[in-house]
Structure 1
Amino acid sequence: MSSPKDGSVQQTNSPETTSVQIILQKLQDLRGRLVEVTKAKVVDSAQDNKGEEGKPADEDEQKKEKEMHTQLDKACKELHYMIREFEKLKNFEDNLRKPLTTLEENVNDILNDLKVLRSSGGTLKQIEHNLKVLRSNITKVKIQIPLQHQASNLISDASRYLQATVASREGGDLPNLYEAAKKIEIEGSFYKEIQDKYDGLDTKLKLCLLCLAIFPDNAEIKKSLLRFWWLGERLIKHPNALEEKGKKDRVNDVLGVLIKEGFIEPIEKKSRLPATRYKMHPIVRSLLIRLAKEANFFDYDSKGIPTMDISACKKSCLIKSERLSHWFSKNPFPMKVEKQQEEAQKINSETQQKTDSKGQQNTNSENQQQKYQEHQREEKQLLRNLEELQTLFNISKQFPDLPEEKFSKMKGINVLYLGRWESTAERHMEVEKTEFLKGLKNMKKLRFFSLQGISGISKLPKSLGKLINLGFLDLKACHGLEELPKELGSLKKLTYLDISECYLIDNMPKQLSSLLELQVLKGFVISKNRHSCTLGNLATLSKLKKLTINVNSDEFSIDKAEEDLCRFQGLRKLRIAWGAGGDESPKLINKTKDEKKGNGNQETNGDKSKGHKGKQNDAAKPGPRKLKMPWGACGEGSSKSVPEKNLNDNKDAGKQNIEGAIKLVKLDLQCFPKLEPPRWLVPEKLASLKNLYIRGGRLSYLGESKGSEKWEVETLCLKYLTGVQINWKDLQTQFPKLTHFERVNCPGITFCPCDANGAWRNLEKGK
């Protein structure tokens, strides 16, 4: 490969080899040669630095050698940085291939439409539509252009500044985008385009968008967090408990607009349809930070990092920093009021006793008095700012222990997010004391409160019941939490309660059944405690749409739960997970032993004992007769693999359940402990079911259909089911409307056209 005189690299490789690949190969070659020389010099230096009889060589020579090695190391590091950045460009180039192909197709469509228009006199309607699509796709590509390339187009001086900054930084980090954006001419085309789109939004949409600016660059933000935040700020309307079918979700509308305009992008997962997380491009965020500062929507420092200052605006963040904000510390002022008063009185008494230098002493007394009055004004202003504070969001603080005397002053706060917002649990959070939570009694306007992921909280104060306007309470992953207060039942406006991953809680207060506005309850525990709230108690919650249950009792019967589930009027999504205490396997084995001895109840277990006989060995070695019958009736004679008693029970139960049907749309079973499925897990009783997830457990087959009924399920996810055996053809027979299927570690499910991730999609039906 030869190089022209201007230093550029000629492309002599095949057409498939991109220019970025050539640059990468060249840089890697140069760095490799330098590294070899550096290693060789180190060896030579170690040998040559000793003169005769082991004496050190000349000190000046040693310094020169050391300086040379330092310069070589720096050159290697800079080449390594360039390689890393060009690897990013390579990924960027790969990601752009499909969008560029789409742009080419858009242009070809427009050109073809123009030919048709000129030849046969067609209409402009199709061309106008294609132009809109083209401009939208162009915007999506422009958003992905790296900052340096945009900077060079906007203003050359700023571009040179960026390049110089990159070369001088240690660790190879890119410069702060917010700092760089200030160097770039704001009137540039890209920033002007974003500004114009922002100006086109209504006020509430602007505020919804500015909420995302407080998160770090490329942060993945959960849709549920945005929903509760926006509802807490009253930026969107609260949906009705039982929404009509087809009624649009306002949160989806807002996110749809922000995606369409290029402000955010969805993060698509292979098993998530649609996306539930979003992120913002750092360049877009850098501009939004400036707009947020202009709107006094959170305060930011010169680097674009949110601050804890509450004097400039009514919204603040908790940030991990070396220096605490003056209001966050327990003693925000250097002198206590009492101490100031004592010193002022002391000065006055000394002034009266002494007659010499009277004028100077009066001056000192006046200065001290002025300082005292200034501190009083500052404290009054601080208390006023705390009372007017509307939002406090923990971005990065690890120990969010708020001063009790300051916490209790936040009377006007709407959103208090002290917990962890990240999807992962990498940031450990803990509080030493929980006395400050007693100040909740004064927060009558609080609508969204989160303690997610905070350790050190064993119980919640009774003052929690004073939050008369609280709509969303997030206690997820509070691993030290042992009990819920009975005062929880006083939260009459509560619509969302998350107590999942609170593993020490084994008792649910019966007052939960009085939360009549509750729509979502996550982490409900079924335990052996007789005083605990039961599934039947929750059936009175007519507005409950989503329920997740943790079973910690082997006395819980999934079959008997059918009666309670039929009583839920609005329940659409249900997840049941069995823990160690909810494993029914030992109970089944003991039952079988008793039946062999003749001690079992013949009326109850007579026929079932035949079905259970020997099943303690089924988990290790599937029996051919039982497991060959997969997902329901697949032909004549297939019912032989299922006990006749169960079939009759299903038929009778189906007749009794016509009026009180289970109206679930989504069902998720985790670690199911039995071989046989619930009796109500059949198409007749779950006619509305669209999403079925079964993950882990001992399940060997799905429920038996009593006739020709087929599942209405569109999304089916099966994971870690080693006992299930079925082929793809039979699976499609039972699930004719399937559009998305996922299989993970299910060796008995065969001949499935899944991809490397175990997923399959019917693109035609999924449109």
Structure 2
Amino acid sequence: MASKNKSWPQISGDTLEEKFDMIMESLSKLNERLCSTTEDPLGRSDKEKGITERHSQKGTLEKSHSAPPALGLVPFDDQLIMRLNHNLQMLKLRLGKLEQLQINVGEELGTHLVTVHSLLDFFRVSSQNTIKLDLEGMDSKISDLLYQVPLLSVKTEKQNAAAYGVQDDEDEVHQEKSYYDLPGIHTNMADLTKLEVFRQVKHKFKELDIEQKICLLSFAVFPENREVHRTMLMYWWIGEGIIPVQGAEEAVRKVLKEFTDKKLVEPVEERRKLAPSSYKMSPFVHSSVVLLSKEIGIFDIYRQGQKPTMTCSKMGKVCLVEGSSSQPEKTPTKMLSRDHIETVINISEGFPEFTLNWFSEQPSNKKFMIKLSKTWFKALKVFYLGRWERSKKRDIRIQDPRLMQCLKHLKKLRFLSFQGISTISSLNSSVCKLHKLIILDLRDCSDLKRLPEKINSLRNLVYLDMTGCYMLEWIPFSLALLTRLEVLKGFVISDEVYEVVACKLKYLTVLKKLRKLSIEINRDDLGVGQMMADLAGLKALKSLKVTWRRDLRITYRDSTQNVSLPGQLKKLDLQRFPHEELPTWLHPLNLLHLKKLHIGGGRLLKGFGNLCEKATQCAVEVLRLTSLPELKVDWMELKHIYFPNLTFLENYKCPKITLSPCDGNGIWRSDQ
């Protein structure tokens, strides 16, 4: 801890609001100093530093033992201070009428105010490591205080936000009424059971087999008329063991088609998609399914005239809803039958970190007094703490690293999701203990920087989704040992600085079952031909997406000899293609098996190759062309020469495609 200045005036008389403002103002100044440290801390000129370094290399000069330690010149990561500022602001908004807690918080803030001032005063003589340790200690204590404050009602939080002149981000997240209030249809079960719609739903429900019944009742946990993506349902049902791992995609389509035919769910039609990928349930059907689910004992989160609540159902299902972190059930003594819980799924809770308490044998308010249990949740199969919506509006935060440590005891876990949790920077090695894990969902973990080196211990992993993990710079080479992997999204081809430790693209050829692959290219010396040659060994690959992550200045053009598109590949998506011309093996006349082609964001691409005299044998039926400002082609050439089998075209921000028949949304379909 940085030393304290005894000459400072007394701060005990400052109000809570003043203390918050003073700390945040000081943190802002500290952030400016840390993140703009480009000059030498000792004030030396470039010339002087050069002389000193040369003399040091000769051994003629040594650093004085009395000289203060200098700050490193590596730019300071400001995420820590941003997170600390966020927690301070949230804590400030949530403090209301809790007078006793205000006194405790005031005393704690007084201590931290001294700390921040000391960091400013001793900035020159404090190393970045010391500053980081102090800030991490503050962040930990502020986080503990934040989670001691019960979540207030939406109305109260909005009033506080208006009073402080601050718009709480969480208000945008929960604007839809379905998160807060139970629709009126649910509140009167006696009237609901008299309706014809209920009798019809119940009759159709009885016609389903046992697996389909459980799948249908899964919709009871989502708000009515909310879009639920097919992939999310597939992951969940695989985790529960309702549908098999092999052929899961076809199985989930079959189930949803059955529900659609019986008018139990409605597909969400989108003109730019050939087939629906999301589904929703109408209010009357949803109300009937909620009642059936409650009677059977699968899900039980609704109460008459109340908001959804977190309870453990008869069949071991727990749904985290908004406000769960302030319910009595958040404590181990109130959440009964922990060893029988099979599913924990987050429906609307923004702070699911409290689930750490469930894993403890001896809960305590003191941070380091919690003893983790090895026996609780021994039946847990699905641990879904992340966001189920595809929308990115709902922010979810988990900051306590001990929650990761608990994972190693979940011996039966099959599905783990952290989707959309923005505060996860790395995966604890405890994840590698999940030997039965089939699905690891890390989609949109925007702060994730590192995967565990022993990730190959997840020997049963079939689905790994790292889409949207933009801070991820490299992938451990051991990932290539996951021989059961079928779907890999977000694989990073790292910069040469990680050459020794990173997994290379050619290593993936040992993954004989890999069907879907999306990669992010983060280096400018990997030619398109070499990339495809490295993937030639993936005989099961049917879908490939390649994204050049940044504006790379790729001048390297590798040989295209002996390179061809794999015959089994059916879907190819190229984002930010870096060249003016497509390689010969990507010309339409050579695409004899490919069914879907998407080229987007290629600012330089000008065409599809030389125009043939007659129609090619190109098999592409679905063509998406997006944000290609230099692509010049006529519609007649596109349809009758290059892609004669075309049935669907998306033309978005391609101004040089002339005479396009696309509608106002940029879509043309042969069947309409």
The letter for the 2-side match of 1:471 is I
Determine which of 570, 582, 599 is the counterpart of 1:694. 599
Equivalent of residue 321 in structure 1, options 320, 323, 329: 323
Residue 308 of structure 1 and its aligned partner are, at CA, apart by 1.7
* Helix, strand or coil at the partner of 1:301: coil
Structure 1 counterpart of 2:412, one-letter code: K
Residues 683 and 750 of structure 1: CA distance in aligned 2, closer, same or farther (over 3 Å): closer
Alpha-carbon deviation of 1:323?
6.7
Instruction: From the CA coordinates, give the structure whose radius of gyration is larger.
Output: 1
**CA deviation vs aligned residue, 1:317-350 (integer Å, no higher than 9, x gap):** 1111277333423xx55xxxxxxxxxxxxxxxxx
> What is the CA–CA distance in structure 1 between the aligned matches of 2:313 and 2:545, rounded to whole Å?
45
CA distance in structure 2 between the partners assigned to 1:185 and 1:706 by the alignment? 66
Distance 1:661 1:400 in 2: 44
> Which residue does 1:575 correspond to in 2?
545
Aligned match of 2:200: 193
Alpha-carbon spacing, 1:423–1:434, altered in 2? closer, same or farther (3 Å): same
Contact 1:415 1:448 in 2 (8 A): yes
Q: What is the distance in 1 between the residues matched to 2:350 and 2:192?
A: 37
Q: Which residue of 1 aligns with 2:646?
A: 738
8 Å CA contact retained: 1:527, 1:552: yes
Check if 1:538 corresponds to 2:508. Answer: yes
For 1:455 and 1:661, how far apart are their aligned partners in 2? 37
Q: For residues 610 and 537 of structure 2, what CA distance do their matches in structure 1 show?
A: 24
Alpha-carbon separation, structure 1, partners of 2:185 and 2:316: 23
Q: Is the 8 A contact 1:298 1:306 kept in 2?
A: no
Q: 2:217 aligns with which of 210, 224, 238?
A: 210
Of 306, 309, 324, the match for 1:307: 309
Q: Are 1:516 and 2:483 an aligned pair?
A: yes
Q: Give the alignment partner of residue 422 of structure 2, picking from 433, 442, 455.
A: 455
* Aligned match of 2:295: 294
- Check whether the contact 1:552–1:579 (CA below 8 A) recurs between aligned residues: yes
The answer on 1:404 being equivalent to 2:348 is no
Could you list the per-position Cα deviations for residues 347-392 of structure 1 after superposition, in whole angstroms to 9, with x for gaps in the alignment?
xxxxxxxxxxxxxxxxxxxxxxxxxxxxxxx7xx83xx11110000
Could you tell me the TM-score, scaled by structure 1's length?
0.59
How do residues 305-454 of structure 1 correspond to structure 2 at under 5 angstroms? Answer: 306-310=308-312, 312-321=314-323, 324-329=326-331, 332=332, 382=336, 385-404=337-356, 406-407=358-359, 408=373, 409-454=376-421
Q: Find the residue that maps to 1:454 and give its secondary structure.
A: coil
For residues 73-222 of structure 1, the aligned pairs below 5 Å read 176-184=183-191, 186-222=193-229
Conserved 8 A contact 1:177-1:286: no
1:653 equivalent in alignment to 2:562:
yes
Deviates more, 1:678-687 or 1:541-550: 678-687
CA distance in 2, matches of 1:667, 1:675: 18
SS of aligned partner of 2:450:
coil
Is 1:674 the equivalent of 2:582?
Answer: no
Matches within 5 A, 1:627-646: none
Equivalent pairs, count: 473
Letter in structure 2 aligned against 1:472: I
Residue identity opposite 2:669 in structure 1 = R
Deviation, 1:564, is: 1.4
Contact 1:687-1:711 within 8 A present in 2 as well? yes
Deviation at 1:678, TM superposition (A): 3.1
Give the superposition deviation at 1:270.
Answer: 1.6
Task: Report SS of the residue matched to 1:402.
Answer: helix
Residues 705, 508 of structure 1: alpha-carbon distance in 2 compared, 3 angstrom cutoff: farther
Query: Which sections of structure 2, spanning at least 5 residues, go unmatched?
Result: 1-176, 360-372
Pair 1:470-2:437 in alignment: yes
Distance 2:311 2:182 in 1: 25
SS in 2 for 1:512: helix
Question: Quick one: distance in 2 between partners of 1:180 and 1:309?
Answer: 18
1:541-560 matches, within 5 Å, as 541-560=511-530
Contact 1:663–1:687 under 8 Å retained in 2 = no
Structure 1 residues 685, 539: CA separation in 2 closer, same or farther (over 3 Å shift)?
Answer: farther
Asked whether the 8 Å contact 1:309–1:325 carries over to 2, the reply is: no
Is this contact kept in 2: 1:390–1:412, CA < 8 A? yes
| Most deviating of 402-411 and 421-430 | 402-411
2:535 maps to which of 552, 565, 570: 565
Assess if the C-alpha contact under 8 Å between 1:465 and 1:488 holds in 2. yes
Greater CA deviation, 674-683 or 753-762? 674-683
Q: Which amino acid aligns with 2:213?
A: K
Distance in 2, Cα, partners of 1:411 & 1:325: 23
1:758 aligns with 2:666: yes
Distance change (3 Å), C-alpha of 1:661 and 1:457: closer
Structure 1 residues not aligned, in runs of 5+: 1-169, 242-247, 334-377, 592-603, 605-648
Is 2:134 the partner of 1:226?
A: no
Does the C-alpha gap of structure 1 residues 753 and 560 become closer, same or farther in structure 2, counting only changes over 3 Å?
Answer: same
* 3-state SS of paired residue (1:542): coil
- Give 2:124's aligned residue: none
- The two structures, once aligned, show a CA RMSD in angstroms of 2.6
More helix by share: 1
* CA shift in 2, pair 1:288/1:305, >3 Å: farther
CA distance in 1, matches of 2:650, 2:537: 31
Deviations 1:248-307 (A, max 9, x none): 811111000100111100001121111100000011111111110111112123248543
Q: Would the alpha carbon gap of residues 662 and 400 (structure 1) be closer, same or farther in structure 2, given more than 3 Å must change? A: same
